[in-house]
């Protein structure tokens, strides 16, 4: 009797140990999803999962939507990913090249459908984004960014344009809304909803209207365009009177054209200075690191190692610098190379 009891007790301990090892096989430091919607109601998704610990060879999770064109990458290169369609959504399974158990990050790109719905209200077409994210592993932080299409405006619960809250201006032309949630437990779901409509003129929230980068860049572009029109008209007039004898007034006009060209060059330089000087501290730190490489080329992994930023944060910063035209992101096999653009090299005089 005692022998039977001892055997049962030992078996119970082994089972409990096995189950606990399964339950706590992985722990996520941060999950980040960037949704970029278009006018056709499909979404391009950029997803990053930053694991603190991960002991399984495969990465598997469920998205409650129909998805396609999945690509997965980690520091060792492109992963073999497949999608299983389920009645409740899509299951993504990616096989890892190396079983890295600590501080592992994976980047995924895919297209999502069936999460945006149209409805008619007061002679207007309103698009509604509804998304559910289930927590299947312990997660420190979940970050969701939904960016509406260009030429659309966000709506609040009363179908008005909101002026405050977690709203972000992405690149001066598109508006997004961001959520950050912390200490997420297994078995619970998070729900996200965004409503927006097509407008004739982009609406910028009040707390972003005085954004110095967007305002000054827009003003600089207008000035450059006007100067370009003036120069074209001046050259056209000069061509018509080329056969005539040069007079003092024509010499004066040529001098004004030269001054206009000099002013255009000066304003372009001012625009570049403003763009670089108004970078956020973390963006400036990464940009200076790229410039300090000598030839303006470095690897994304080296940036994370030097700055001690997480891979997800480095990816977000590099994406912001790329949108502003300061760097190019080039994938080379298993590595990602970050290189200054020709515009940035010319301005900084980097060979």
Alpha carbon distance 346, 351 (integer Å): 8
| C-alpha closest to that of 275 among 205, 341, 206, 176 | 341
Q: Report the helix count and the strand count for the chain, using DSSP H and E.
A: 7, 17
| Distances from the Cα of 164 to the Cα of 33, 98, 285, angstroms | 22, 45, 29
- In the chain, alpha helices (H): 2-23, 212-240, 248-277, 281-291, 300-307, 311-323, 342-348
Identify the segments of the chain with pLDDT beneath 70. 1-25, 157, 159-165, 172, 200-215, 239-252, 259-278, 349-351
Cα diameter, the chain: 123
Determine phi and psi for 62, rounding to 5 degrees: -115, 135
pLDDT of residue 44: 92
Give the position of tokens 């000598």: 294
**Contact by Cβ (8 Å): 291, 305:** no
Angle at 350 between CA 263 and CA 172, to 5 degrees: 60
Determine phi and psi for 154, rounding to 5 degrees: -70, 150
Alpha carbon distance 233, 235 (integer Å): 6
**252 class by beta-carbon count within 10 Å (0-12 exposed, 13-18 middle, 19+ buried):** exposed
| Distances from the Cα of 100 to the Cα of 23, 62, 93, angstroms | 18, 22, 17
Rounded (10°) CA dihedral 171, 70, 143, 24:
-160
* pLDDT tens-digit series, residues 159-211: 666 655 588 777 767 888 888 988 888 877 888 888 888 885 444 444 444 45
**Contact by Cβ (8 Å): 237, 230:** no
Beta bridge partners of 87: none
Q: Read off the tokens for 158.
A: 């009363």
Q: Which fold has domain 26-208?
A: Immunoglobulin-like (2.60.40)
| Distances from the Cα of 107 to the Cα of 73, 138, 336, angstroms | 5, 19, 12
Alpha carbon distance 54, 103 (integer Å): 8
Alpha carbon distance 246, 242 (integer Å): 8
* pLDDT tens-digit series, residues 46-72: 999 998 888 888 888 888 888 889 999
Alpha carbon distance 342, 264 (integer Å): 19
Q: Read off the tokens for 270.
A: 């001012």
Sorted by sequence, the CB contacts under 8 Å of residue 328 that are 6+ apart come out as 322, 338, 339, 340, 341
Pick the CATH number of 281-348 from 3.40.50.300, 1.10.10.10, 1.10.1040.10, 1.10.287.610: 1.10.10.10
């Amino acid at each position: 009797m005692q022998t039977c009891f001892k055997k049962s007790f030992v078996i119970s301990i082994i089972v409990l140990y096995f189950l606990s090892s399964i339950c706590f096989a992985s722990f996520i430091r941060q999950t980040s999803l960037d949704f970029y919607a278009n006018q056709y109601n499909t979404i391009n998704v950029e997803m990053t999962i930053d694991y603190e610990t991960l002991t399984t060879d495969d990465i598997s999770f469920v998205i409650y939507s129909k998805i396609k064109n999945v690509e997965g990458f980690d520091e060792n290169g492109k992963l073999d990913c497949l999608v299983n369609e389920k009645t409740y959504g899509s299951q993504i399974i990616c096989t890892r090249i190396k079983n890295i158990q600590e501080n592992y990050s994976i980047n995924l790109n895919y297209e999502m459908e069936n999460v945006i719905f149209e409805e008619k209200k007061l002679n207007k077409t309103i698009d509604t984004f509804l998304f559910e994210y289930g927590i299947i592993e312990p997660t420190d932080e979940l970050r969701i960014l939904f960016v509406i299409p260009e030429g659309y405006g966000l709506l609040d619960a009363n179908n008005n344009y909101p002026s405050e809250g977690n709203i972000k201006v992405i690149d001066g032309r598109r508006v997004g809304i961001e959520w950050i949630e912390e200490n997420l437990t297994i078995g619970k779901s998070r729900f996200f909803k965004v409503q927006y409509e097509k407008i004739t003129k982009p609406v910028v929230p009040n707390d972003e209207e005085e954004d110095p980068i967007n305002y000054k860049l827009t003003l600089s572009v207008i000035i450059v365009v006007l100067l370009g029109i003036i120069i074209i008209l001046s050259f056209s007039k000069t061509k018509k009177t080329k056969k005539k004898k040069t007079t003092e007034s024509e010499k004066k006009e040529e001098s004004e054209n030269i001054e206009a060209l000099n002013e255009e060059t000066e304003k372009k330089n001012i625009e570049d200075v403003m763009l670089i000087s108004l970078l956020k501290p973390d963006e400036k730190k990464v940009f200076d690191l790229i410039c300090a490489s000598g030839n303006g080329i470095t690897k994304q992994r080296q940036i994370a190692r030097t700055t001690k930023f997480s891979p997800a944060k480095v990816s977000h910063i590099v994406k912001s610098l790329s949108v502003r035209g300061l760097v190019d992101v080039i994938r080379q096999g298993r590595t990602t190379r970050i290189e200054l653009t020709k515009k940035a090299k010319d301005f900084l005089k980097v060979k």
